[in-house]
Structure 1
Amino acid sequence: MDLKRTLIDLMPGPLVRTFAAPYIAGKGIATGVAKADELHSKLGLYSTVDLLGEEVFRREDVEATVQLYFRMIEALKDRPYASISLKPTQLGINESEAYCQDNLRRIVEAAAPHRLHITLDMEDHHFTDVTLRMFKALRDEFDNFGIVLQSRLFRTKEDIKALHAKPCKVRICIGIYREPTEEALQEKPQMKEKLFEYVQLLLDHGHYPEIATHDEPLVRRCMEFLDKRGVAKDAYEFQMLLGVPRTAIQQEIVKRGQIVRLYVPFAEEWQYAEHYLKRRLAANPAMAMMVMKNLFGS
């Protein structure tokens, strides 16, 4: 077993909570809404509010999750600077594709009258095909629906080419799931190079890239390319995680008149917040140093 992963899994709950504080809005919908309000009013930042939790199996738990999303929509409906992310494993994919797609439709349909955008998150490679199928089916019906693609996967170039013909918002990121060598790149520099390539490909196919990275040289490379190409500043955006210290570059982008959107997770149960942070730490142990900077102002 991966020693790094084992050590992270053994971290006690109180320590995880200390590390999690900058990265998670808190417990309950109100904390996610309040953080979205604060980020916009103080810093001009947008948010995608995310309910933490995966691998929901029981139908009654899936229905409870759907109801939580309805409450989120009601809470966020008058906030054009906010959007919502969904995960297939929260919404019934473990039972069937049809059941999950029906739940997705219920949520996206409820959000549509409020022009509240919904993003369908991409989980590990086992779910890529089914996630894309459900997205394409619902994109026919709804314009407030976007998708996530991961630059680490070998298949992503073809997935972009095969996306829905209607232009859509696509969060392009390197991805956090550790994937096997036969499915994905293993080195971060290669993943970042592919991310830059896929930003261009998404634009070529008429889509709205949501460029999700904390790598400042990569952000600046994208900005330079997009400026030279003459891409309108409202035809793409940058996305980052709540808590990662990138205030300077975020404010620089905001002053250019562009959107920077932070991923703002909250939890209904603390165990889901712990799982989220442990996965983030395993993917990027440098986060621990970022947290220490946030905690002690160094």
Structure 2
Amino acid sequence: MNLTPPEVRALGDFPSRNTADADAYVAAASTWGATAPLWATDLVALGDWMATLAADQAAAFPPGAIVVTYTFDGLSATVGDPGAGKVRLNNLTQGSATAMLADALDNLGVSALATLARMTSTSAPLGSLVLYKFGDPSRRLNADVTANTPSGGGTGHVNLTLTNVAVSTANPFADGDSLVLVLDPRGAKGDTGAPGATSLWTTDGTYNITGTPTLVTIPLPTGAATCRLSFEGVTIASTQSLTVALSTNGSSFGTAAGFGSASGTMFTGFLSLEGLGRNRLSLEDRVVAGASVPSSPNMSGEGPPNQRFATTIGGATHIQFAVNGGLAFTGGTIVAEKK
């Protein structure tokens, strides 16, 4: 009798192809009857095994994943070679394991090193894996792989560092279980994009508000016609607006002008000083929503959304902030910048 079995497919092929092969083997063996060769029984068993594996594959992972089969060593959590054809976790509570030790040989005695080496990437994590019980994919462990370290000169075992994602039970596997290891490497990290444009602004000083001051005085940057003050979460004791005043000597200040919403307790945004004499103030992006028109004998301007006003004080060297009603500042940062 001439027998032509179907083409044998690798375990990592599409589950649909494995299923087709398994069905063909079983169908061929069943037609041979009593005249079949002695190995027909083994062929039927192989077909059953392939059918089970194909069903597991279809349930456990998408087509094209990398597959290795092992025998589970559940008696030890030692970080080292688990023995020929075996896989081990570094914690006897399997769901808490942070490393998997996979032997260089799978449970069929075939080298798995080249397969395991494919779990590498320039991305983080390197990829993900599923370890499940052969014949019962509901008993499984899912994890991300963050490192892949060969040991024993590349012939002993591989140490895969894990971050646990999910586990069916605290201990889904028993010692001696046949396990299927499914590896899904992540693609390489993309190229670094071109750097963005360099900001025209440079930081001149950073002023953290500590304690509960009622006045905050800041020296203005020198050597630049335009400067700005960046408010970063500046807070006050109660809802109220702010005031600003300028000085040419740091001790005597002009009449303060109010700005900002009277309903705010936190202020963010920018306050710019422009012009050759740094005598024009501009509220960019509103220091707080609903900025008020300044009211001051030495300041005039226009209202929100982008409030601008001029001051008769030219060549200012210092700026002073206060809270209407004499309230205190309670925190935040003001950054002085120039360009």
TM (norm. structure 2) is: 0.17
Q: Which protein shows a greater Rg?
A: 2
> Which has more strand, going by share of residues?
2
RCO higher in 1 or 2 (8 Å CA, sep ≥ 6)?
1
